Amino acid sequence: IILFVLRKKRGRFKQIVTGGVQNPSYGDVVAAKYMRNTDTAQVYPNFQEDTHLYAAPDTEESYEIDQREVYQEIDDIYLYPHTELQPVVRNGGINNSDGEEREFFTESDIYWVPASNTAELYEQLSKYRFREIRRDQLQITEHLGSGEFGTVNKGVWEGSPDKSREVAIKLLQKGASEESQVKFLQEAALMGQFSHPNIISLLGVVTLGEPVMIVMELMENGDLKENLISMRPIPGELPPNSLYQQLLDFCHQIAAGMTYLADKSFVHRDLAARNVLLSGNTCKIADFGMARDLEESTYYTSQGGKIPVKWTAPEALHYRKYSTASDVWSFGCLVYEIWSLGHKPFENYTNSQSLCTIHR
């Protein structure tokens, strides 16, 4: 056990005694098992099964520790080293033997189900090595929209592997309920499990302090629905010939992304043009928190939550039975949106009228 002593300096705690496993690639390295309080005062890893380093405070809370020399109010921190030969977790990412940071994503044949409470969700995010981005590395530059649980913003990530890049940042509103926090973190937990050219990419999370943030790749052109509406020709004019190939390409891209999700046994449940983002001519499926950040009239509320009626298969509407088949139904509705240049399915019908029409 190596003892770390922290001394308060100008309102912060500064590391004055350093140590750790000496590795030619990393130098002194400290890593934390948890990204925030999980009601665990000490961490005792199983070295036979886990080759990573862990830091644990002697208080009632666990904190992320790294070489930033800026810490929470902790008096002592202990390291539990295992080996000098293995890569270690640092700042939420994974280091290769060559010292270069890789993305936290690890491909899996099937997705794991996010927990239903915040404590377990934070443990999952740490277990699966989701990148914890430092709050001071993010700068919000533009407000893009608001939703049920917070805001979506354009920003810059100064500490990214690419040095600096524009990103999209979702902020959970301060003082959000436990239920809202769970749904917010569940979306991040799901998004971080997927890696496909037509699925929106999670870059990391900010869970230390408030507000909690989800950092994603930025899709400069916004959602597909608004782009389709902008493609409508002026009355009396014919659309350009290239438009049809572009619309067909949109369908192919979205089908490819949905096939990837289906292969992982994941059901999206809310596939629609509003939940597909566009950058150039590239489509990416987004919004893995169902029935969020949308106008109320799009959904009706049942015992199990909100449902996008006009995009939802009958068996899902009546029996809450979602499957790849119900996603295929939604994909058909999305294809209608694409080829009608942004018109809704059953556009002139109320939700009730559309239900009756489907059952005829």
302, β-bridge pairs: 305
Phi and psi based region of residue 217 (left: phi greater than 0; alpha: psi -120 to 50; beta: remaining):
beta
Amino acid making up residue 91: N
Identify the active-site residue in 50, 58, 263, 270. Answer: 270
How wide is the angle at C-alpha 77 spanned by C-alphas 75 and 82, nearest 5°? 175
Which tokens sit at 216? 């994603």
Q: How many CB atoms lie within 10 A of CB 238?
A: 8
Say whether 28 is catalytic.
Answer: no
Which tokens sit at 303? 């015992």
The string of DSSP letters for 48-70 reads TT-----EEESSSS-----TT--
Question: In whole angstroms, what is the distance from residue 163 CA to residue 16 CA?
Answer: 28
Which tokens sit at 309? 């009626």
Q: Which of 86, 88, 82 is closest to 1 using CA atoms?
A: 82
The 3-state DSSP class for residue 248 equals helix
170 annotated as a binding-site residue: yes
Residues 6 or more apart in contact with residue 82 via CB below 8 angstroms: 21, 45, 47, 50, 51, 52, 53
Contact between 59 and 13 under an 8 Å Cβ cutoff? The reply is: no
Question: In whole angstroms, what is the distance from residue 323 CA to residue 53 CA?
Answer: 40
Q: Which residues are catalytic?
A: 270
Q: Which residues are known binding-site members?
A: 170
Binding-site residues from annotation for ATP: 170
